[in-house]
Amino acid sequence: MTPDQYLSAESLEKEMALLMRLLEALNRRRNYPLERSHYLLLLQVQAEAKKINDLAAILALDATTVTRQVTAMQLNGLVTKESDPSDRRITWVTSTEKGRTLASEMREIRIHRINEMFKEWTPQDKDTFSKMLGRCNESLYNRLAEM
Amino acid sequence: MTPDQYLSAESLEKEMALLMRLLEALNRRRNYPLERSHYLLLLQVQAEAKKINDLAAILALDATTVTRQVTAMQLNGLVTKESDPSDRRITWVTSTEKGRTLASEMREIRIHRINEMFKEWTPQDKDTFSKMLGRCNESLYNRLAEM
């Protein structure tokens, strides 16, 4: 590692740890219509039904955790689940109308807040940041897949 | 909100929610020498003693939570605490040698992993991303202060 590489990694390390801390703090103080984990799951099943195993891969969770989440969400009327008629081991999850409504309310609130947060940024900077976050997320997916 | 503003906020919303999910997943699967909250606190008191109230502000936590954390960390031999001789309501927190050693080990591991994660990025992109994360963290601090 050259001194330059070390320096930039050092500052990335600090900023990423801080970002996570601040986002946690912000989420704790906000009243959202849904838990964040339920929201993320609902976003995935809004347009079409998905299999538990595919949801686990997308959300970087194990199938047991997703199954537990889906059961809790079903009790809250947010999703429905159905066994695959050709293979009972496969479970399909779909959003209910209530799930769709609450997810879209939550999304509107989040988008409004993000606009507030980034209001001093130029559209170009927002675009660059969003693309870099996307790249960073891709690397994180790869790291998780290697573990 | 113009359609363009909406679009960029939409993609920021998605990427930030995903980033948080992936970082959580990654942290859960890793064996670090310290809990992340203890690590973040230790980084603050490594160079000099700090007051509980100042730590709460920096870490975006309330004083009660920081006091609880400090007590747990003291039991683990990571920090020491001391009342201010001129005002007993003020508590100063300092890192022990053990705290400093473990924080520095954890930091090395994190920096190494971040270098791995960003190995495909140019030094310039890493620098831009790190600065943008810093700006984003500043906005988050401001939002938290307004709440």
B17 and B74 part of one domain: no
A47 touches chain B (CB under 8 A): no
The answer to whether B103 touches B46, Cβ cutoff 8 Å, is: yes
B57 and B22 part of one domain: no
Higher per-residue pLDDT: A57 or B145? A57
A61 and A126 part of one domain: yes
Residue in B10, B134, B144 nearest the CB of A15: B134
The CATH number linked to B128 is 1.10.10.10
> Which of B78, B118, B70 lies closest to B99 in space, CA to CA?
B78
**Taking CA atoms, what residue in A is nearest to B110?**
A13
- What's the domain count of chain A? 2
A74 and A140 part of one domain: yes
Q: Count other Cβ atoms within 10 Å, centred on residue B87.
A: 8
Chain B residue numbers touching A36 (CB-CB < 8 A): 17, 20
The SS3 of residue A1 is coil
A134 touches chain B (CB under 8 A): yes
Query: Per-residue DSSP letters for A29-97?
Result: HS--SS-HHHHHHHHHHSSS-EEHHHHHHHHT--HHHHHHHHHHHHHTTSEEEEEETTEEEEEEEEE-H
Q: Which domain holds residue A19?
A: 1-30
Instruction: Tokens for A27, please give them.
Output: 């989420």
A14 and A69 part of one domain: no
Residue in B10, B59, B147 nearest the CB of A111: B10
pLDDT tens for chain A, 147 residues: list them.
566 666 678 889 889 988 988 888 888 777 788 998 999 999 999 989 999 999 998 888 889 999 999 999 999 999 999 999 999 999 999 999 999 999 999 999 999 888 888 989 999 999 999 999 999 999 888 888 887
List the A79-84 sheet strands across, edge first: A50-51, A87-95, A79-84
**Taking CA atoms, what residue in A is nearest to B61?**
A25
A14 and A42 part of one domain: no
B67 and B1 part of one domain: no
B58 touches chain A (CB under 8 A): no
Question: SS in 3 state form for chain B?
Answer: CCHHHHHHHHHHHHHHHHHHHHHHHHHHHCCCCCCHHHHHHHHHHCCCCEEHHHHHHHHCCCHHHHHHHHHHHHHCCCEEEEEECCEEEEEEEEECHHHHHHHHHHHHHHHHHHHHHCCCCCHHHHHHHHHHHHHHHHHHHHHHHHC
Instruction: Tokens for B127, please give them.
Output: 């620098």
Find the mean pLDDT for residues B29-42: 89
B143 touches chain A (CB under 8 A): yes
Looking at residue B14, its pLDDT comes to 87
Looking at residue A105, its pLDDT comes to 94
Looking at chain A from residue 92 to 131, which residues have their Cβ under 8 Å from any Cβ of chain B?
A: 107, 110-111, 113-118, 120-121, 123, 125-130
pLDDT digits (tens, 9 = 90+) for B56-92: 998 888 899 999 999 999 999 999 999 999 999 999 9
